[in-house]
Amino acid sequence: MGQKEQISGLQMALLMYTAILATAVLLIPSISASFAMQDMWISPLWTVFVGATLVFGMYRLHLKFPGENLIQYIPRIVGRVPGVVMTMGLILVQVLFTGVIVREYSDFVIGAYLNKTPDIMIMFVMIAVCAYCVYQGIEVMGRCAIFFVPIFIFLIFIVSVLLIPEFDVTNFMPVLGNGILPSMKGSFVIHEWISEFVLISFLFPFLGKKEKALKWGMISLGAVIFSMVIVNSVGLLLFGSIAARLNYPVMAASRYISYGQFVEHVESVVLTIWVTGTFLKITVFYYVSVISISHFLKLKNYRTLIFPVGLWIIVLAKWTGHSALDVSIGISTTLVVIAMVIFYLFPMLLVVIAEMRFRKPKEGAR
């Protein structure tokens, strides 16, 4: 009833958790396996540094500019003209990434079982549902996260547990057989996902209890990295070195599940539950894109932008590549660089400048 929208620390952590992990669950095992082989389960651990500095940096900026997000304080840190350039760059990459996620989703759905459905249809229905959620605002997103993320975590958990009979522990050997370099190489691509933690800057202003911001941000980061280790381990235990050749190892893994001739062919169920995670991920990216643009254009109400940005996202999703292969090559090459530069180096640069320019937290910043 009129008051400002608020989310709790837990809701923020859960939103960020799915915003990173939903697609990572599918793609990370095969990508990191191709570099790290049997050490792929170590790879996510190397991202701690980038993740922690990013979350901490965003938290510092949040303290300096309470109640504002990245787009709002960029011009105040670097000045108007460079600010506009950086803001536009950030917005473009945000929308591009939203498009890429939608594309990953539709490629996966088409590849997995709706082979003959036109991808535009699959994207459109998903974007429509996400647009509805974005329209309802951040509070509703937070509550949806409370509702769906436990289901999503339960999915990862249950798939892992049901696969235990198929595990082959010798796949782990030799641990660090070729030194630590392969596992570090494997972590390179994972940074693409971890750097998406920059979006937390857009959620901080909505937190009800400000003092918990850093704590929940770090919990979220820890949970993401831990889940990635679990998922990679499952992929490794199950497939060993061939994990690299499978596009979606977790999905392939769920085909192995068979109990009592009744719990069989559950991959559709796995996909269905995975969709809840993807939905949250797209919603967070979509929402951040929309409010970024609305702050950039200084609009009072972001809701008018939902429809045009939705169309833009679908266009970008189609434009990302000709085929699923194109997209996955892009994800492990170009997009990593873009993500590292725009989502990590830019913001960290801002943190450094801000630390130097504003020694004390600015009073009454507006």
| Contacts to other proteins by CB under 8 A | 1, 8, 109, 113-114, 117, 122, 125-126, 129, 132-133, 136, 139-140, 143-144, 146-148, 261-262, 264-266, 268-269, 271-273, 275-276, 279
Decide: 103 and 327 in contact? Cβ < 8 Å: yes
Residue 186, judged by CB atoms within 10 A of its CB (0-12, 13-18, 19+), counts as: buried
Q: Between 141 and 189, name the residue whose CB sits nearer to other proteins.
A: 141
Q: Between 122 and 251, name the residue whose CB sits nearer to other proteins.
A: 122
Distance in Å from the first CA to the final CA of the chain: 25
Strand ranges, E, within 81-139:
none
Residue 133 beta carbon to other proteins: minimum distance, rounded to whole angstroms: 5
Residue 256 beta carbon to other proteins: minimum distance, rounded to whole angstroms: 15
Residue 22 beta carbon to other proteins: minimum distance, rounded to whole angstroms: 13
Q: Phi-psi bin for 342: left (phi > 0), alpha (psi -120 to 50), beta?
A: alpha
Residue 149 beta carbon to other proteins: minimum distance, rounded to whole angstroms: 12
Please state, in angstroms and rounded to a whole number, the distance separating the CA atoms of residues 256 and 161: 12
Q: Between 114 and 365, name the residue whose CB sits nearer to other proteins.
A: 114
Q: Between 123 and 288, name the residue whose CB sits nearer to other proteins.
A: 123
Q: Between 44 and 277, name the residue whose CB sits nearer to other proteins.
A: 277
Residue 263 beta carbon to other proteins: minimum distance, rounded to whole angstroms: 10
Q: What is the DSSP string of 226-276?
A: HHHHHHHHHHHHHHGGGGGG-S-HHHHHHHT-EETTTEE-THHHHHHHHHH
Residue 230 beta carbon to other proteins: minimum distance, rounded to whole angstroms: 23
Q: Between 80 and 265, name the residue whose CB sits nearer to other proteins.
A: 265
Question: What is the torsion angle, in degrees rounded to the nearest 10, for the CA atoms of residue 132, residue 135, residue 137 and residue 141?
Answer: 20
